[in-house]
């Protein structure tokens, strides 16, 4: 009996000890948790006191950058940059801007990396191309400022420099030069003997997804205009594929009035590569045998023959049509026929000029109406319009019938 009692007492004592030990452990854990929380709170408070957050004084200052440009006073009658632009100095010096039907230009600024410098643009948009005057603005009064900066504002392209120029009249011939620049580019011949427009037309002939309505054509933008030094122009060709507007870009430069050019993106390189895919001798010469002599079109007496001579005088167009037909002949049966000319049914001031050919047994033509007095061309067929888009910044539309 005594042995049983002793066992019960021992078991009870052991249970009490276990409960006491658990209580001690719980109290220790709670105490350490409170200590850790206090330590963390102290560290956070010390950190906040030691390193306060400082706001970036140059962040989100786009509006200030634009205003810094707009208020600069130019040498032109004390007008600000904003006033000169609002008065139309750009469209007056570059009349081609008005012919593009552009939406209204907008002021735009973006920060350069994490610096106190901003890029500011007065931005035009033609299809996917953005262009216009561009400045760099140093907002930090103690920041570095390059030579030529006016109160931290520095023009960095030709259009911006134009706005700062008092007498712009001598510069008009350099800024309104699209046709001349494009002709220098499109008259270039590759080693194959073909010109750039022919290469461009081959490029599009192989892209059936590109509809004629989605070919936008050329844009020539002055980039660097130093009349006593270098002249640089950025030349764009744009078209749409699906939902995407694509472009090919070249740079045309003049030194001592001698032009040179180079491609500036992969598309331009691809198009130039097409120039070697078809040899010049494989392109049909569509000029009439009796009109291959070099005769000034204005010396031709008969109206419609004169109109034809004006058309033939632009070798880029004649070669381009011959290239397109020769390219089609690789996959179709093409029979070359002849030229046909006659007065326009709308007016005797123009003549209908057509090149007739058969493709897979169907009669087709490449046609224009040409003013016989000065040679102005109006394409009236798909192939003639595509050819004109390849050689000109502006494709003439037929005047409305009175």
Whether the per-residue pLDDT at 36 is higher than 80: the answer is: no
- Give percent of the chain above pLDDT 90: 67
Q: Is the pLDDT of residue 216 over 50?
A: yes
As a three-state string, the secondary structure of 43-63 is HHHHHHHHCCCCCCCCCCCHH
- pLDDT per position as a tens digit, 65-106: 999 999 999 998 889 999 999 999 999 999 999 989 999 999
Residue 11 CA: distances (Å) to CA of 123, 261, 402: 92, 103, 121
Prediction pTM value? 0.83
**Strand partners of residue 195:** 189
Tens digit of pLDDT for each residue in 44-69? 455 555 556 678 999 999 999 999 99
Average pLDDT over residues 11-22: 56
Across the range 103-114, mean pLDDT stands at 96
CB 293 within 8 A of CB 309: no
String of DSSP letters for 328-372: HTTTS-EEEEEEEEEE-SS-TTEEEEEEEEEETTEEEEEEEEEET
Of 187, 214, 192, 245, nearest in space to 386 by CA? 214
* Section 276-287 average pLDDT: 79
Between 325 and 43, the more confident residue is 325
pLDDT for residue 181 is more than 70: yes
Most confident range (mean pLDDT) of 23-27, 279-283, 287-291, 374-378 is: 374-378
CA distance 57 to 116: 8
């Amino acid at each position: 009996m005594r042995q049983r009692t002793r066992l019960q007492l021992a078991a009870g004592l052991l249970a009490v000890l276990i409960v006491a030990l658990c209580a001690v452990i719980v109290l220790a854990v709670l105490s350490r948790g409170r200590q850790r929380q206090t330590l963390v709170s102290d560290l956070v408070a010390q950190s906040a006191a030691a390193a306060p957050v400082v706001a970036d004084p140059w962040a989100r200052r786009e509006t200030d950058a634009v205003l810094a440009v707009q208020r600069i006073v130019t040498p032109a009658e004390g007008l600000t940059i904003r006033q000169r632009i609002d008065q139309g100095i750009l469209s007056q010096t570059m009349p081609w801007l008005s012919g593009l039907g552009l939406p209204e230009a907008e002021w735009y600024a973006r920060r350069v990396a994490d610096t106190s410098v901003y890029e500011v643009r007065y931005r035009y948009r033609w299809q996917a191309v953005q262009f216009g005057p561009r400045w760099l603005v140093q907002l930090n009064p103690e920041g570095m400022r390059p030579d030529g900066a006016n109160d931290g504002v520095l023009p960095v392209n030709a259009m911006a420099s134009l706005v700062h120029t008092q007498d712009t009249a001598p510069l008009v011939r350099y800024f309104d030069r699209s046709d001349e620049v494009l002709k220098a580019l499109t008259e270039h011949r590759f080693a194959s003997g073909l010109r750039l427009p022919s290469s461009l037309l081959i490029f599009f002939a192989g892209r059936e997804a590109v509809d004629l309505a989605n070919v936008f054509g050329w844009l020539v933008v002055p980039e660097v205009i130093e009349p006593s030094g270098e002249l640089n122009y950025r030349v764009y060709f744009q078209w749409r594929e699906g939902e995407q507007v694509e472009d090919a870009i070249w740079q045309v430069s003049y030194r001592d009035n001698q032009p040179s050019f180079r491609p500036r993106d992969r598309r331009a390189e691809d198009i130039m590569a097409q120039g070697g895919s078809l040899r010049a001798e494989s392109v049909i010469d569509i000029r009439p045998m009796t009109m291959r002599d070099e005769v000034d079109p204005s010396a031709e007496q008969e109206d419609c023959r004169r109109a034809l001579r004006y058309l033939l005088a632009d070798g880029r167009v004649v070669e381009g049509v011959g290239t397109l037909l020769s390219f089609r002949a690789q996959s179709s049966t093409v029979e070359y026929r002849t030229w046909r000319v006659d007065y326009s049914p709308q007016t005797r001031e123009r003549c209908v000029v057509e090149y007739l050919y058969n493709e897979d047994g169907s009669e087709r033509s490449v046609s224009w109406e040409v003013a016989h007095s000065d040679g102005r061309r109006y394409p009236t067929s798909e192939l003639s319009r595509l050819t004109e888009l390849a050689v000109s910044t502006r494709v003439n539309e037929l005047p409305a019938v009175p």
